[in-house]
Amino acid sequence: MKGHGSRRGFTLIELLVVIAIIAILIALLVPAVQKVREAAARTQCTNNLKQIGIAVHAINDDFKVLPSLASTDGWTPTTYSAQPFRGNNWTLLAWLLPYIEQANLQKQMTRGGSPPGLYCGGQYMVAVNTYLCPSDDTTTINGLSQTTYGGANGFAVSNYAANYLVFGNPNGFDDPSCIQGAAEIPRTFRDGTSNTIMFTEVYGSCGSSGGPGFAAASLWADSTLPWRPVFCHNTQSKNVNPGYAPCLMFQIKPIEFTTCDPSRAQSPHTDGINALLGDGSVRFLNPGISVTTWGIACDPRDGNPLPPDW
């Protein structure tokens, strides 16, 4: 019988060539996969904002007025907001819970201030998926803030903040009165709902001190400084001041605890920021728009037409 010849294996050079080809393919594939993931994450962020927009219009239809942006702090009940929303230490986002299929969560929240209610309603540690943008790297996998200052790392974040100039009361005389607005759609949107930004994106954790030990955060349930889910406040501590000061320009992918400015909105995307308009539509704004255009779009009653770069 004719014997079988021995099978020839890979030479070292051939093996190195195969490894090199695999490395090249991985190098080409990884960026593509990352782009697909980011596109999917951005789509989810956009869809969340659309859900918030639907919720805002639904609660306005039910009560003919909108909740205030926040109470004075996590202990103190509202006193200046519209009558249906007075007497609770809740944020606007807490009031929207039944309209984003989170009615049971709101039912678990205590009402009133201290006494008898718990801090921020008592459910501040529960993450709400609709309030989380998967593109944000400053939030833990459990939806909590990474800011350790004030124990904020035990609180669930919101990657969407409400416009102070819309939901607050800039005609007030101090923070307690200014933070508690009573907006109505369409009455208080004098420039038109399609020309006014209601919500935009923010980081869950934000600061410039170099670490999480002294930084701000955006927490869906917390009305206390500097945790409020707000933008257009223009201050590091997130307190609000009387008057319609031009909204500070948003940031694109700042470094979480190094270059992030709590007085501004922040985008986790590389090429722009999502913004929810008063008519419920979502617009992805290019970072090339001017500071003036951003300011006009954030002010609901200045009477200025939006410039061409909008």
Rounded to an integer, what is the distance from CA 260 to the centroid of its chain? 14
pLDDT value at residue 19: 86
Quick one: pLDDT band at residue 41, thresholds 50, 70, 90? confident
Quick one: pLDDT band at residue 5, thresholds 50, 70, 90? low
List pLDDT tens digits, range 148-207.
999 999 999 999 999 999 999 999 999 999 999 999 999 999 999 999 999 999 999 999
**Beta 230-231 vs 160-163: how paired, if at all?**
parallel
Tell me the CB-side half-sphere exposure of residue 7, using CA atoms within 13 A: 2
List pLDDT tens digits, range 66-89.
999 999 999 999 999 999 999 999
Q: Is the pLDDT reported for residue 33 higher than 70?
A: no
Query: What is the pTM for the complete model shown?
Result: 0.90
List pLDDT tens digits, range 9-30.
668 787 888 888 888 887 776 6
List pLDDT tens digits, range 227-238.
999 999 999 999
Quick one: pLDDT band at residue 116, thresholds 50, 70, 90? confident
Compute how many other C-beta atoms are within 10 angstroms of the C-beta atom of residue 24: 10
How many degrees, rounded to 5, is the angle at CA 287 between CA 282 and CA 293? 75
Q: What is the mean pLDDT of residues 239-245?
A: 98
List pLDDT tens digits, range 281-304.
999 999 999 999 999 999 999 999
